[in-house]
Amino acid sequence: MKRKKLLSLISSICLISIVGVLPFVGGCAPPEKEPIKIGAILCLTGVVAELGPKFQAGIELALEEANYEVAGRPIELIVEDSATDVTTAVEKFKKLVDGDKVHIVIGPLMGDSHLAMAPYAAEKKVLVTSLINGMYEAVKYRTYLIYPTTCMAQTYPFGQYCHDVLGYNTMITIGANYAGKIAYANGAAKGFEDAGGTVVDQLWPDVGTPDYSPFIAAFGEADVVLYALEGPGPVSRFIYQYREAGKTMPLVTITQDGDYTPEALAELGDIALGIPGESSYPWQLDTAINKKFVAAIKAKTGVVPSCSEQNAYTMAKVVLAGLEATGGDDSFDKLWPAILALKIDTPQGPLSFTPEGVAITNMYVTQAEKVDGEYRLSAPIYTVHAVRDWRLPE
C-alpha cells in the first residue's frame, strides 16, 4: 500500500513537470505583442449603403497585402456602420475610442460627421482619415488626414475647366443639402466664377430627396447645369428624371468616379453618356501600381474599382506606412508627424501631405463611355497636377 502511494505521488510529480515544461520546449515563448486596432466607420446601411462594402474592400485589400501585420504587430480591423447618419457616426466613433481603445479611425464618409467628431477626436488624440475628401473646417483640429484634398479644393479646378476649356459662361448648380456636397458645389462655383463665369442659381435638395422634378422644373436658363448629389443612387435618379423631363441644358458633375460605379453605369445606360465630370480616381489610369490595384480589386469584388475602393485602400496604406515608420507605435503624437512626412505613389498618383494633414494629389476630368457594349468611366481627358487647397499657407 505504501509503495502504491509512493508510486502514484512520483507519477503525479512527473506529469505536472512535463505539462509545466511543454510550453518552453524549443525555447521560451515571448509575450505576444498587442494588436494594433484600426477602426473603420463605413456607410453599410442608409442612403449610400452601396459604397460601404466598397470602402471595406479597399481597406481589407491593403491589410491583406500586409498580411494583417506591421512592424511585428498584428492588426485588428474593427468595422462599424454609420448608417449614413451623423448621430450614429458619432456614437460609433465614441464606441471605438472609449470602448475598443482605438487610436486610428478610417472614415466616416460624410463631411457633417467629420465636423461633429472632430472636437472629440482632438480631445482624445485619435487620428482620423476621410474617405472621399474632407471639410476645410476640420483642418484646424490637426487630427484629420484629408484625402484626396478638401471638398472645395477638389472641385475648384473643375469649375475653371468648365469655363476655360468647355467654354460655358453661365451655370446652375444643384447640390445635396449637407456640408460635403455644399462645399463641392461651392468649390466648383468659385472656380467657375474666378475664371470669369456667372453662377445664375444654386438649388439644395435635401439628402434622400426621392423626386427631383420640382427642382428640375425650377431651373432657369443657363449654359450648363452642375449636379453634386450624395451618391450613385441619387445621381442616377436625378439624371433619369432630368432626361425624362425633356431638359436639354448640358450637364456636368463632380465626384464622378464615386457616382459612376460600374453597377450604376450599367443601369443608367446611354443617358449617362456625354457628361464630363471631376474625378479624383479614374480606374483606367495607365500606371503599373494602378494596374496591379485594379486587378486585385477585380479579383476580390468582381468589378473594377471606383474611388471608394481606391481611397480606402490608400488611406489604409498610408496608416500602415506611418506605423512602419514609427516601428509599430500607434500613439497619435508619433504617428501623425510620421504620416505627414510621407511621399508615396498610389494607384491614384503621387501623394504627399501639407503640415495640416491635407493631401496633395492630382485631379482628373472623365466621362462615361461605351466600349464594346460595356459602359465604364473613361481614362482621364484632362489632368490637374498637385491640387492643393489655396487657403492653406504655402
Partner 1 sequence: MEAVLLTFLNGISYGMLLFLVASGMSIVMGLMGIINLAHGALYMVGGYIGWTIAVQYDLNFGLAVFLGGCAGGLTGLIIERGFLRRLYKQPNEQVLVTFGFVYILSNLCVWIWGPRRRLQFTGEALSGLIYLGNIPFPVTRVFTIITGIVVAVVLWWLQDKTRFGAMVRAGMDDKEMTTGLGINLERVSMLVFFLAAFIAGIAGVVGAQLLGVYSWLSTDILVLALVVVIVGGMGSVQGALSGGIVIGLIDTVFKTLFPQFSMFTIYVAMIIILMVRPSGLWGRRI
List contacts with partner 1 (CB under 8 A).
Answer: 44-47, 49-50, 52-53, 203-206, 208-211, 213-215, 217-218, 232-233, 236-237, 240-241, 244-246, 263-264, 267-268
Kindly tell me which of 50 and 193 has the beta carbon lying closer to partner 1.
50
- For the CB of residue 377, give the shortest distance to partner 1 in the complex, in Å: 17
Kindly tell me which of 120 and 240 has the beta carbon lying closer to partner 1.
240
Kindly tell me which of 243 and 388 has the beta carbon lying closer to partner 1.
243
Kindly tell me which of 148 and 205 has the beta carbon lying closer to partner 1.
205
- For the CB of residue 89, give the shortest distance to partner 1 in the complex, in Å: 16
- For the CB of residue 253, give the shortest distance to partner 1 in the complex, in Å: 16
Kindly tell me which of 139 and 228 has the beta carbon lying closer to partner 1.
228
- For the CB of residue 241, give the shortest distance to partner 1 in the complex, in Å: 8
- For the CB of residue 134, give the shortest distance to partner 1 in the complex, in Å: 24
Kindly tell me which of 29 and 217 has the beta carbon lying closer to partner 1.
217
Secondary structure (H, E, C), the chain: CHHHHHHHHHHHHHHHHHHHHHHHCCCCCCCCCCCEEEEEEECCCCCCCCCHHHHHHHHHHHHHHCCCEECCEEEEEEEEECCCCHHHHHHHHHHHHHHCCCCEEECCCCHHHHHHHHHHHHHHCCEEECCCCECHHHHHHCCEEECCCEHHHHHHHHHHHHHHCCCCCEEEEEECCCHHHHHHHHHHHHHHHHCCCEEEEEECCCCCCCCCHHHHHCCCCCCEEEEECCCHHHHHHHHHHHHHCCCCCCEEECCHHHHCCHHHHHHHHHHHECCCEEECCCCCCCCHHHHHHHHHHHHHHCCCCCHHHHHHHHHHHHHHHHHHHCCCCCCHHHHHHHHHCCEEEECCEEEEECCCCEEEEEEEEECEEEECCEEEECCCCEEEEEECCCCCCC
- For the CB of residue 242, give the shortest distance to partner 1 in the complex, in Å: 11
